[in-house]
Chain A
């Protein structure tokens, strides 16, 4: 595969043309896998012997938490591309992804709190993973606010890219906090290559379908929102040109 061919999609026109064809398929696949995964998990899996029916929250909590971290890492990659190669589409893709990541973080925090109340006896604890997730959410808010606060698109892309690099520390910390500090309430990873650590197969398969659904939903939304950002940027450029002459 020629990786250099990927740079063709840095052209806004080419990006819009290609995503026009891809977007409907990804959207349909996202909806189908989300419905299948959530219906399977909610209606057709048994209760856990310790957690009871609250185990059904895993189908929302784990995929949203995974996405909260990985969306930021995708923003890190696109921000680095902007810093190194100055491709506008990559900066706009990072901007488009931020609200999706913020919503995923809220879902992870909310479902975690709702699950924690009956299981741990508290809605919230200043546990390393929970706290780093809260800080990650604040970074998402700061990132979005910074884009809105600066009129010049290139300056905004530069500054938000730097903020993204700094926030990546908390994105990684959210993932590995449990391994760094053997304290706090949050258990280790639910998904692992180590068979001993993984959840049982009866929960694992619907969970995989739900994760696929969340990933596909993210791809569909980020494509749609990047197209919107490209058009909004062109609109601002045309308006500025008209004002000047």
Chain B
């Protein structure tokens, strides 16, 4: 159940919204780049192996 934040509701809710969005974007970008680089490296290593 939502607590009664009174006249400061906007300040409290916007603080949580801004912070959580920033943290989620940071995590998402980190995971996305990790997956992309891992796949690219595997491709290059296979290519290098094939070419001797």
A59 nearest CB neighbor, chain B only:
B16
Q: Are B8 and A54 in contact (CB under 8 A)?
A: yes
Q: Are A53 and B8 in contact (CB under 8 A)?
A: yes
The stretch that binds B, out of A2-10, A86-94, A142-150, A231-239, is A231-239
- B37 — which chain A residues lie within 8 A by C-beta? 228, 231-232, 235
Complex: A107 Cα to B44 Cα, angstroms = 38
Whether A64 touches B12, Cβ cut-off 8 Å, given contacts A231-B37, A232-B37, A239-B44, is no
Contact of B30 among A111, A114, A228 (CB under 8 A): A228
Q: Are B30 and A221 in contact (CB under 8 A)?
A: yes
- B31 — which chain A residues lie within 8 A by C-beta? 224
- B44 — which chain A residues lie within 8 A by C-beta? 235, 238-239, 242
Q: Are B45 and A238 in contact (CB under 8 A)?
A: yes
Q: Are A221 and B27 in contact (CB under 8 A)?
A: yes
Complex: A118 Cα to B14 Cα, angstroms = 13
Whether A103 touches B26, Cβ cut-off 8 Å, given contacts A52-B6, A114-B18, A235-B44, is yes
- A110 — which chain B residues lie within 8 A by C-beta? 15, 18-19, 22
Interface size classification for chain B: 20 to 34
Q: Are A231 and B41 in contact (CB under 8 A)?
A: yes
- A60 — which chain B residues lie within 8 A by C-beta? 15-16, 19
Q: Are B14 and A114 in contact (CB under 8 A)?
A: yes
Q: Are A224 and B34 in contact (CB under 8 A)?
A: yes
Whether A238 touches B48, Cβ cut-off 8 Å, given contacts A107-B19, A224-B30, is yes
- A118 — which chain B residues lie within 8 A by C-beta? 7-8, 11
* Whole-angstrom distance between the Cβ of A53 and the nearest chain B Cβ: 4
Residue of B4, B5, B45, B51 ringed by the most chain A CB atoms within 10 A: B5
Residue of B9, B12, B18, B44 ringed by the most chain A CB atoms within 10 A: B12
A225 nearest CB neighbor, chain B only:
B30
Q: Does A197 contact B (CB under 8 A)?
A: no
Q: Does A227 contact B (CB under 8 A)?
A: yes
Q: Does A99 contact B (CB under 8 A)?
A: yes
Contact of B8 among A52, A61, A111, A232 (CB under 8 A): A52
B47 nearest CB neighbor, chain A only:
A242
* Whole-angstrom distance between the Cβ of B42 and the nearest chain A Cβ: 9
20 new A-B contacts at CB < 8 Å, known A38-B16, A56-B5: A42-B16, A43-B1, A52-B8, A53-B12, A54-B8, A60-B15, A64-B19, A103-B26, A106-B22, A110-B22, A111-B19, A115-B15, A221-B26, A224-B31, A225-B30, A228-B34, A235-B37, A238-B45, A239-B44, A242-B51
| Chain B interface (Cβ < 8 Å from any Cβ of A) | 1, 3-9, 11-12, 14-16, 18-19, 22-23, 26-27, 30-31, 33-34, 37-38, 40-41, 44-45, 47-48, 51
